[in-house]
Structure 1
Amino acid sequence: MRPTLTILMMVFLFNACGLIRGTQKVKYQLPMLGSIGKHQSSLFKRKFQKVGEPFIDNPVAVTFESVAFDKSAESRYSNYRKNQGKEPATIFTDTTSIDIPRYYQLKISNIVRLVGEMNGDENNGLKKYLQENMDLEIMSHIVFMTDIKSAQQMENADLIYLKTSYDGVLILYVGNRYGTEPIKISNLEIFDFRTARFCWDKDKRGHINIAQILMDGITCPGSTKANPEKLNRTPDYLKL
């Protein structure tokens, strides 16, 4: 995961549909959980340039958490609103108060399922593009504020998951005993995020696949590689 910084800037790339061939068209350029893109950080600003998203046929579980504001989160949220041209938020984080204002987090939890989906035939074009552009990452965790109705929708859900809709758009869904419905991403004020990198390996047929999505840690485990090109190199001992 990448460390969080003070100011969050979301950059929309309107011609991203043409960048990743062999995957579904990206109709909405608002970065969200599961988005593929380039993460850039500096001392005073942070950007995520979305270029596409995977096709997810089988639901990938997401965890929801409600968190009490502290001074750090309050500062990030206020800076986000200021950067969006809105009035900075004033949130009183008195730790002695019983009713402390809260923000929310969504995090991809079923990494095994996500890896399996991204290695599917529908994502062959995406995999090739990721191999050629190793600076691309996946948005794995978002921190946000939202309206009361949307917050209750998620708090009362039995499950939350990512799935590609019938018209080819990656959507967040909430489900309970009454059915499922989509979460409107436009209702979420995403003021912070984290990304995850990809580790690669080669199967018995010589095909390069995603082996793991690196949510924690800085190095790929075992024989997996952050650079898929290294999987095609002949070991030195075989050159003799």
Structure 2
Amino acid sequence: MKKYFYLILSVLTVSCYTLPQKTKFYQAYNSVDLGVIGEQKKTVRKKGFEVSGIPTYLTPIKLDFSAKSFDKQNFKSYINFLETTTKKQIVNYVDSLEAKPKYFEFKINDKISVVDQIEEKQYNIKVKRYLYYNPELTLITQIKFVANTKIVEQLKQGEGFYLQTKGNNQSHILVYKEGKVIQDINISELQVFQYDVASFCWNIDELRGTDIVGLVEEGELCKNGAVRNPIKEKEKRKKEKLNSERYY
């Protein structure tokens, strides 16, 4: 009996510190951009990522870039995206052919800079305030996409890739080579068919106030006392303080 008790206890203990891992990306049913904030919505008529805000990134955010071969599953996802948008198909897939077409991925590498610009910069003060009152919102940190031949050739030239906001709050990919920008690509030109998100972590300090201190992927927990919902955490601490005062 003790054996089963300790087994159950160990499972409960682990579950307190680990969330279920999500191995699949979200399907894009509409055009989405890297670095935007929103919420996964699903209704009778509409489903997909609904953008709530677009942070301004004046300091370029470093990205990881990779090229991968399509398989049946990813190509099906691409076709699903095309069926719900006005985009034209630019990639064909034949399973019997040995050489498979490529899709590409961008992933935010420098999360510290993302947090810093949303938390510290005056030009993002409205975004931070909105996040505070809507802690369920997430940020798109990774995308799978295809692009036309011209853009693919531009990406192949690059040695480094960065995300930056330009003009009318438009997201751009800066392609670097030998320390210089050689290409500037508007993200709206990419066909993003899958994406992944991260949640914000907040630290609550009675002296400093409430600050965004990190981003965590799905399946991860905020660390070092940080929380995802600052309003609920404040209410919890307030109740705990009131309860403790009753005993004195």
Q: Same fold (TM over 0.5)?
A: yes
Q: C-alpha displacement at 1:139, in angstroms?
A: 0.9
Q: C-alpha displacement at 1:166, in angstroms?
A: 5.7
Task: Tell me which of 204, 213, 219 is aligned to 1:211.
Answer: 213
5+ residue gaps in structure 1? 11-29
Q: C-alpha displacement at 1:221, in angstroms?
A: 2.1
- What is the CA–CA distance in structure 2 between the aligned matches of 1:186 and 1:113, rounded to whole Å? 22
Deviates more, 1:158-167 or 1:70-79: 158-167
Deviations 1:89-124 (A, max 9, x none): 641134x71x22110111101111211111113222
5+ residue gaps in structure 2? 1-20
Distance 1:46 1:192, change over 3 A: farther
Q: C-alpha displacement at 1:202, in angstroms?
A: 2.7
Structure 1 letter corresponding to 2:93: I
Cα RMSD between the aligned structures? 2.8
- What is the CA–CA distance in structure 2 between the aligned matches of 1:212 and 1:41, rounded to whole Å? 27
- What is the CA–CA distance in structure 2 between the aligned matches of 1:93 and 1:179, rounded to whole Å? 37
- What is the CA–CA distance in structure 2 between the aligned matches of 1:192 and 1:111, rounded to whole Å? 20
The 5-angstrom pairing of residues 154-193 of structure 1 reads 154-165=155-166, 168-177=169-178, 178-193=180-195
- Counterpart position of 2:36: 35
Deviates more, 1:106-115 or 1:159-168: 159-168
- What is the CA–CA distance in structure 2 between the aligned matches of 1:124 and 1:74, rounded to whole Å? 39
- Counterpart position of 1:19: none
Q: Secondary structure at the match of 1:9?
A: coil
- Counterpart position of 2:130: 129
The 5-angstrom pairing of residues 1-240 of structure 1 reads 3-5=24-26, 7-10=27-30, 31-41=32-42, 46-84=47-85, 90-94=92-96, 97=98, 99-122=99-122, 123-165=124-166, 168-177=169-178, 178-203=180-205, 205-232=207-234, 233-234=237-238, 236=240, 238-239=244-245, 240=247
Q: C-alpha displacement at 1:225, in angstroms?
A: 0.4
- What is the CA–CA distance in structure 2 between the aligned matches of 1:189 and 1:49, rounded to whole Å? 17
Output the TM-score relative to the length of structure 1: 0.79
Distance 1:86 1:157, change over 3 A: closer
Deviates more, 1:229-238 or 1:190-199: 229-238
Distance 1:154 1:45, change over 3 A: farther
Structure 2 letter corresponding to 1:109: N
- What is the CA–CA distance in structure 2 between the aligned matches of 1:211 and 1:48, rounded to whole Å? 24
Output the TM-score relative to the length of structure 2: 0.76
- What is the CA–CA distance in structure 2 between the aligned matches of 1:85 and 1:60, rounded to whole Å? 29
Structure 1 letter corresponding to 2:75: E
Q: Secondary structure at the match of 2:29?
A: strand
Q: C-alpha displacement at 1:152, in angstroms?
A: 2.0
Asked whether the 8 Å contact 1:34–1:140 carries over to 2, the reply is yes
- What is the CA–CA distance in structure 2 between the aligned matches of 1:59 and 1:203, rounded to whole Å? 29
Q: Secondary structure at the match of 2:238?
A: coil
Deviations 1:73-92 (A, max 9, x none): 01101121222256776411
- What is the CA–CA distance in structure 2 between the aligned matches of 1:78 and 1:228, rounded to whole Å? 39
Asked whether the 8 Å contact 1:78–1:90 carries over to 2, the reply is no
Higher relative helix content = 2
Distance 1:152 1:100, change over 3 A: same
Q: C-alpha displacement at 1:206, in angstroms?
A: 2.6
Distance 1:69 1:46, change over 3 A: farther
